[in-house]
A and B are shown apart, each in its own frame.
Chain A
């Protein structure tokens, strides 16, 4: 017969296992915007993020290659000199899910970030900057992909 103490220890172990398996989502994950990341169109992403209609701006400097030989690793970078930008999101228009990533800045970092994304096919890539007072600006560039990075 197992004692109460053993039972408690065992249930704690089971809970830990469940948490590790992702059955019990960590609290931090609740902040992850599932709807935005599953959206398949730019408009849907903007809506899911709760943003106003984006306006194209020359003040966002967005770097992406003209041609990406390997769609699995496409280096992109965005920075802006605009004051009050709190957030930069990267969107790939023709990917199975449009939103690639969102970066939230505090005042302690420069509003400049670079990363690498996957692209399924030739598509427009957008860098969307969101200011603290709700302005939404974007810059875009078409990247030609010769070898896709999704599926296959």
Chain B
């Protein structure tokens, strides 16, 4: 299974800034390995961010998102102690969800 995401959510002004670092190869399907065989595409396709269980943002990603994807966004009205959870689904159907408490 995949490694955990690193998520940081900090109150800033009236909301919380969420920074997410995911651990994923994000293969484009264009790269060739040492033997010259194409490495099949394998990348995160969908991301869902939720505040206290309610979806606040979703994303669809292609192969051009960098390896070990980073993303940052701001959740309005999130307070210290609220829970932010991030889930992703990749092109192989793997999923992962991690949760963090807003600091």
Contact = CB atoms under 8 A, between A and B. Distances in A.
Interface of A: 19-22, 24-26, 28-29, 31-33, 37, 72-75, 77, 92, 95-97, 99-110, 112-119, 149-152
A109 B64 contact: no
B74 A22 contact: no
A117 B63 contact: no
Contacts of A115: 65-66, 69-72
B85 interface: no
B73 A110 contact: yes
Contact of A96 (B15, B28, B49): B28
- Interface on chain B toward A: helix, strand, loop, or mixed SS? strand
Nearest to B14: A110
Contact of B66 (A19, A33, A73, A113): A73
B75 A114 contact: no
- Interface on chain A toward B: helix, strand, loop, or mixed SS? mixed
Contacts of A116: 65-66, 69-70
A33 B60 contact: yes
Interface in B53-79: 54-67, 69-77
Contacts of B72: 77, 113-115
Interface in B11-50: 15, 26, 28, 30-32, 45-46, 49
Interface residues of B, number: 39
Contacts of A25: 93
A151 B89 CA distance: 24
A2 B69 CA distance: 47
A79 to B, nearest CB: 9
A119 B93 CA distance: 25
A40 to B, nearest CB: 12
A37 B73 CA distance: 22
